[in-house]
């Protein structure tokens, strides 16, 4: 007897043998048991989930010699002929090859005749969405009111392409994709029934590779049996599926976490030696990053039988959540831009270098103490000059920025102070030139202002555009001072004397109980995630007792605790112990406090805009609308 492939040999013969479609089986079984038969059914779902199989089981349930039943006997002539494909009153039509109106008219003309051998004449139209518009129109009337002995069972993988007039005439059932666990469990039953030796670790690989299709899983099982010469082994299945070794993905992620450029490029070079596609490598890298981010947000989300579960959990523990999100986006964009690169290797390696270069700054890495001039911050330089003379220079954009800052900060300036200072006469300005700084000298004949605090001979103000991710409050305050000084509303601020170079500082003083201040002061690096979401419960000299809520337990791992302990020990110059427990935080973590402060500033900014007389007149007179999402606090 000729060999029959497993996908056909193990096709379910009744509803009880179906896997993964319990919601459809229950509805159909109850309908057949109670005699509530519809004249047209529509089965939708992806390939290999059981649409045609369910249609044939329904045909047997309708024509079984024992009567209309949800459990056809499978041994009567009607059931055996339907299983063999020889039942005269069952007509299976492939709409992909019979798309025209003439084919449908031929079917409909025969529908008026009574069945020959069965109780009902059943029409199974597969891939019905491939029919032409005229063919759909021709079958509308018959589909809505067919003869009592006719039942239509339509199947499609794309119901969106079907006319709504057809969908409304059918009872629709949507078949789900099967989970890898359901697929691997069914494959185990098949192998045990076939008495074939197998390794349990090979079945989850086949279950994940099938992508929810049982037919694909059985076809892959046939291939695995042939590859292993009658045995299904894990190593053979990995080699057959092309999943020989995916360690290169975790080598890449380990190099990114360690910020190791040479190791990163070595991992990229190894891909060509494996004969892998760079586009496929970026796809798999994005998939692993998605799974790592899923573990960080929902620790128990991964399936227990996932082959790389241990490696993915290790990556999720070592990688910061914002890094995982950034690397995922860069991998997607790199895959999209791969055809535009000079070659695939250049596009792939550039994507990895972009991940290495654009990693988010660690907490405390950017600070005013370490940055000589932040964007948007007003800086002053004091070269020596003759006494009694003052030269001021300002960027063209500094005036506009200062005026905006003054309008926001003017309420905080005492009015008596502004009225007491004399206003200098206007000074002619030179024509603007395209340079970031414009120097301007006061004429010698200008009236001498009242005595003020001595100012260095030359003061240069340099203002750069403030990026949206920086805190704009210090720059706005400095710009306000500059504008008020230029208007005479307040005396110029005396420049402080250069501080003498101090000797290296000793150990830091004892902790004063301000946990947030300590977190802001230290350069915590990777330990910043734990410190930001930790609440100080108790402190004793040399010991910090912290509490982290359950939703942030991903940052409370032993690795993060060791890093935080090392930073604190270096800061205080002695051994520090840190104990982290999981519990319900009351909201006094540095991250929660910062969030409340940002929300308060945002609320104050929105109130200031809504209560501004000019804004209110624009809304009242011109129908303007204030978009709250566009308001940003200074």
Burial label for 279, CB within 10 Å (0-12, 13-18, 19+), is middle
pLDDT of residue 150: 92
Instruction: Classify the C-alpha dihedral 544-550-552-556 as positive or negative.
Output: positive
Using the 8-state DSSP alphabet, how is residue 181 labeled? Answer: H
Q: How far apart are CA 13 and CA 56, in angstroms?
A: 8
Domain C-terminal end among 554, 572, 588: 588
Q: How many domains does the chain have?
A: 6
Nearest CA-CA partner of 441 in 478, 390, 496, 480: 390
- Is 422 within a domain? no
Say if residue 221's pLDDT is above 50.
yes
- Is 565 within a domain? yes
- Provide the CATH number for the domain around residue 543: 3.30.300.150
Are 66 and 169 in a shared domain?
A: yes
- Is 416 within a domain? no
Percent helix, strand and coil across the chain, each to the nearest 5:
50, 10, 40
If DSSP codes are grouped into helix, strand and coil, which group holds residue 564? helix
Are 210 and 252 in a shared domain?
A: no
Provide the β-strand partners of residue 125.
93, 154
Are 23 and 156 in a shared domain?
A: yes
Q: Residue 48's domain spans which residues? A: 6-174
pLDDT of residue 447: 47
Are 167 and 42 in a shared domain?
A: yes
Are 279 and 218 in a shared domain?
A: no
Q: How many CB atoms lie within 10 A of CB 626?
A: 14
Q: Which residue has the higher pLDDT, 186 or 560?
A: 186
Say if residue 60's pLDDT is above 70.
yes
Provide the β-strand partners of residue 155.
43, 126
Percent of the chain with pLDDT over 90: 17
Query: Please, what is the end-to-end C-alpha distance for the chain in angstroms?
Result: 83
Residue in the structure block whose two tokens are 């991710």: 469
- Is 567 within a domain? yes
Helix H or strand E segment including 151: strand 150-156
- Provide the CATH number for the domain around residue 312: 1.20.272.10
pLDDT of residue 582: 84
Say if residue 370's pLDDT is above 60.
no
Are 166 and 186 in a shared domain?
A: no
Are 256 and 352 in a shared domain?
A: yes
CA angle 517, 520, 525 (to 5 degrees): 140
pLDDT tens, position by position, 122-157: 999 999 998 888 888 888 888 888 888 999 999 999
Are 49 and 133 in a shared domain?
A: yes
Domain C-terminal end among 340, 357, 374: 357
Question: In Å, what is the CA distance from 72 to each residue of 9, 25, 61, 422, 570?
Answer: 19, 14, 5, 103, 77
Residues 6+ positions from 300 with CB-CB distance below 8 Å: none
Provide the β-strand partners of residue 42.
154, 172
Helix H or strand E segment including 403: helix 396-409
Please indicate, yes or no, whether the overall pTM of this predicted structure exceeds 0.95: no
- Provide the CATH number for the domain around residue 21: 3.40.50.300
Say if residue 429's pLDDT is above 90.
no
Say if residue 399's pLDDT is above 60.
no
- Is 132 within a domain? yes
- Is 426 within a domain? no
pLDDT of residue 155: 93
With cut-offs at 50, 70 and 90, classify the pLDDT of residue 242: low
Q: Which residue has the higher pLDDT, 416 or 495?
A: 495
Are 99 and 36 in a shared domain?
A: yes
Are 256 and 232 in a shared domain?
A: no
If DSSP codes are grouped into helix, strand and coil, which group holds residue 602? helix
Are 253 and 233 in a shared domain?
A: no
Are 584 and 597 in a shared domain?
A: no
């Amino acid at each position: 007897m000729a060999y029959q492939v497993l996908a056909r040999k193990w096709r379910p013969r009744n509803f009880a043998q179906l896997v993964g479609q319990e919601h459809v089986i229950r509805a159909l079984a109850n309908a057949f048991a109670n005699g509530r038969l519809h004249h047209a059914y529509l089965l939708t779902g992806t390939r290999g989930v059981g649409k045609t199989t369910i249609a044939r089981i329904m045909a047997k349930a309708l024509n079984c010699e024992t009567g209309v039943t949800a459990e056809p006997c499978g041994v009567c002539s009607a059931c055996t002929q339907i299983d063999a494909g020889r039942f005269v009153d069952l007509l299976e039509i492939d709409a992909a090859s019979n798309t025209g109106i003439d084919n449908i008219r031929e079917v409909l003309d025969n529908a008026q005749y009574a069945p020959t051998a069965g109780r009902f004449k059943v029409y199974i139209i597969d891939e019905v969405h491939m029919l032409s518009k005229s063919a759909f129109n021709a079958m509308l009337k018959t589909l809505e009111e067919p003869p009592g002995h006719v039942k239509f069972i339509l199947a499609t993988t794309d119901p969106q392409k079907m006319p709504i007039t057809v969908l409304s005439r059918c009872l629709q059932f949507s078949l789900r994709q099967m989970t890898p666990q359901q697929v691997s469990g069914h494959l185990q039953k098949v192998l045990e029934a076939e008495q074939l030796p197998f390794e349990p670790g090979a079945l989850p690989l086949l279950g994940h590779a099938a992508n929810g299709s049982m037919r694909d899983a059985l076809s892959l099982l046939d291939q695995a049996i042939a590859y292993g010469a009658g045995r299904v082994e894990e190593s053979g299945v990995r080699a057959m599926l092309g999943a020989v070794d995916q360690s290169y993905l975790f080598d890449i992620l380990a190099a990114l976490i360690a910020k190791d450029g040479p190791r990163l490029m070595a991992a990229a070079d190894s891909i060509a030696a494996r004969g892998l596609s760079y586009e496929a490598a970026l796809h798999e890298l994005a998939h692993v990053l998605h799974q790592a981010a899923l573990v960080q947000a929902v620790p128990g989300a991964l399936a227990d039988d996932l082959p790389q579960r241990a490696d993915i959990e290790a990556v999720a523990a070592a990688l910061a959540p914002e890094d995982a999100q950034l690397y995922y986006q860069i991998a997607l964009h790199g895959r999209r831009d791969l055809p535009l690169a000079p070659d695939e290797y250049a596009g792939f390696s550039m994507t990895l270098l972009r991940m290495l270069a654009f990693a988010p700054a660690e907490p405390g890495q950017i600070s005013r103490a370490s940055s000589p001039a932040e964007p948007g911050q007003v800086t002053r330089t004091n070269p020596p000059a003759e006494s009694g003379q003052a030269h001021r220079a300002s960027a063209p954009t500094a005036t506009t920025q200062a005026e905006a800052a003054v309008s926001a900060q003017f309420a905080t300036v005492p009015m008596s102070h502004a009225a007491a200072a004399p206003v200098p006469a206007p000074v002619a300005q030179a024509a603007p030139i395209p340079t970031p700084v414009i120097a301007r000298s006061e004429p010698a004949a200008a009236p001498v202002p009242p005595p003020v605090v001595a100012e260095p001979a030359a003061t240069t103000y340099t203002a750069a555009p403030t990026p949206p991710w920086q805190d704009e409050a210090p720059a706005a305050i400095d710009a306000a001072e500059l504008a008020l000084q230029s208007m005479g509303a307040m005396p110029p601020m005396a420049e402080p004397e250069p501080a003498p170079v101090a000797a290296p500082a000793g150990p830091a003083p004892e902790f004063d109980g301000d946990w947030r201040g300590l977190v802001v002061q230290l350069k915590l690096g990777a330990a910043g995630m734990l410190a930001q979401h930790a609440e100080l419960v108790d402190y004793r000299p040399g010991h910090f007792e912290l509490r982290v809520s359950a939703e942030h337990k991903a940052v409370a791992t032993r690795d993060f605790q060791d890093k935080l302990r090392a930073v604190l020990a270096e800061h205080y110059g002695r051994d520090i112990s840190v104990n982290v427990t999981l519990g319900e935080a009351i909201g006094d973590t540095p991250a929660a406090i910062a969030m409340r402060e940002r929300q308060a500033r945002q609320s104050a900014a929105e109130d200031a805009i809504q209560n501004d007389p000019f804004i209110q007149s624009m809304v009242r007179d011109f129908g303007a609308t204030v978009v709250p999402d566009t308001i940003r606090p200074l």
